[in-house]
Amino acid sequence: MSGQDWLDKDFYAVLGVSKDADAQEIKKAYRKKARQYHPDRHPDDPKAEETFKEIGEAYSVLNDPEQREQYDAIRAMGSGGARFSAGQGGPGAAGFEDIFSSMFGGGHGAPRGYPAGGGGGANPDLDDLLKMFGGQAGGGFGGGGPAGFQPGPSKGQDISAHTRISFRDAALGTEIRLTVDGKAVTARIPAGVHDGQKIRLRGKGRPGPGGGPAGDLLLTLDVEEHPVWSADGANLKITVPVSFDEAVLGTTLSVPLLDGGTVSVKVPAGTPSGRTLRVRGKGLKTSKRTGDLHVTIQVAVPSHVEGKAKKAVEDLREALEGEDPRAGLAAAAAS
């Protein structure tokens, strides 16, 4: 992306956030917009697809502190502001006139093709101005100099992209293929990644000027939710329903595993709904550790009973008449 593109595009407006929005606000706005305009919700709608790409482009810049800082500085220069700094601006920041004065001796040594002095001439094109310093928009300054100086090879620009993967692929790891900047890219996704995680693919970015090494691709992952499984770090979580008699008398469950097969889980007698049982070593296997499987018990209550089943429940209620499951609740609530 060129510096002129950054001048022309208001990424804050694309995401619907203010210029002083923090990282959490930006992430929340991106997720909301991305869900709204995701191509899966708007098949065969080129306008929605283009909007989705613009949202991803805006987030990739504003979510990266370094790129956001450069974007804000370039926008400040292009808007006619008198001062520019490499950071957020401040008392020591220098204006365009100060920069040219210090480099070329006032207005008399301005580079060929640019107006001398500070009065009324047309502003130089931003991309050409950045090239004077050997830089490129969005990639910072450095590696070059004024006309006549031949910079050596330098690393190419990093680029950002988003991709959506299933929960299973995120948990077990996978290999995906996507197109970035018109180029086919193969990426290995390690096991145990989570929603919003960034993966750096070295050498998959823009080619390096002067034969330098290519930049990197920063890939942000959007992980789909699963109807049964969820994860907490390397731990896998699943909720398993049991019948009332199984919870009261105890049982042994056959619980499915994410990578296939099952594991036996013993449910002790008198297990209440909502209790979580842990099975060690049956969670996600990552490069750093192997997690556990957390099985949450959910007691299933029949929606309709009659005949012998109804009589059995009535007999149980009569037998347990002296027990109060809410004993102490009022006192605890008032404390």
pLDDT of 92? 42
Domain borders along the chain are 3-115+124-132, 159-223, 230-319
- Determine the Cα–Cα distance for residues 2 and 24; give it in Å rounded to an integer: 27
Query: What integer pLDDT is reported at residue 86 of this predicted model?
Result: 41
Tokens of 230: 């969820």
- What lies within 8 Å, CB to CB, of 264 at 6+ separation is 252, 253, 254, 255
Looking at residue 146, what DSSP letter applies?
A: S
Q: What angle do CA 288, 292, 294 make, to 5 degrees?
A: 145
CA distances from 7 to 57, 89, 105, 138 (A): 14, 18, 28, 11
The CATH number that domain 159-223 falls under is 2.60.260.20
* Residue 137 CA, distance from chain mean position: 23
pLDDT at 53: 87
End-to-end CA gap in the chain: 61
CA dihedral angle for residue 82, residue 85, residue 91, residue 96, rounded to 10 degrees: -30
Which fold is adopted by the domain 3-115+124-132?
Helix Hairpins (1.10.287)
3-state secondary structure of 285: strand
pLDDT value of position 139: 43
Tell me if the pTM is above 0.85: no
Residue 53 has phi, psi (to 5 degrees) of: -65, -40
What are the backbone dihedrals phi and psi of residue 298, each rounded to the nearest 5 degrees, phi first? -125, 115
Q: 230-319: same fold as 3-115+124-132?
A: no
CA 63, 69, 72, 78 torsion-angle sign: negative
Whether 48 contacts 40, CB under 8 Å: no
Instruction: Enter the tokens of residue 170.
Output: 């995120």
The predicted pLDDT at position 225 comes to 93
Query: Which residues fall within 8 angstroms of residue 8, CB to CB, at 6 or more apart?
Result: none
In this structure, what are the phi and psi dihedrals at residue 180, rounded to the nearest 5 degrees?
A: -130, 125
Least Cα distance to 14 among 46, 45, 60 occurs for 60
Closest to 291 measured CA to CA, from 242, 232, 217: 232
Give, for all 335 residues of the chain, the pLDDT tens digit.
545 567 778 999 999 999 989 988 999 999 999 888 887 788 788 888 889 888 988 898 898 888 888 888 888 776 554 344 444 444 444 444 444 444 444 444 444 444 444 444 444 455 555 544 444 444 444 444 444 445 568 888 999 999 999 999 999 999 999 888 888 889 999 999 999 999 999 988 888 888 889 899 999 999 999 999 999 989 999 999 999 999 999 999 999 999 889 999 999 999 999 999 999 999 999 888 999 999 999 999 988 889 998 898 889 888 888 888 888 888 899 98
The domain defined by 230-319 folds into HSP40/DNAj peptide-binding domain (2.60.260)
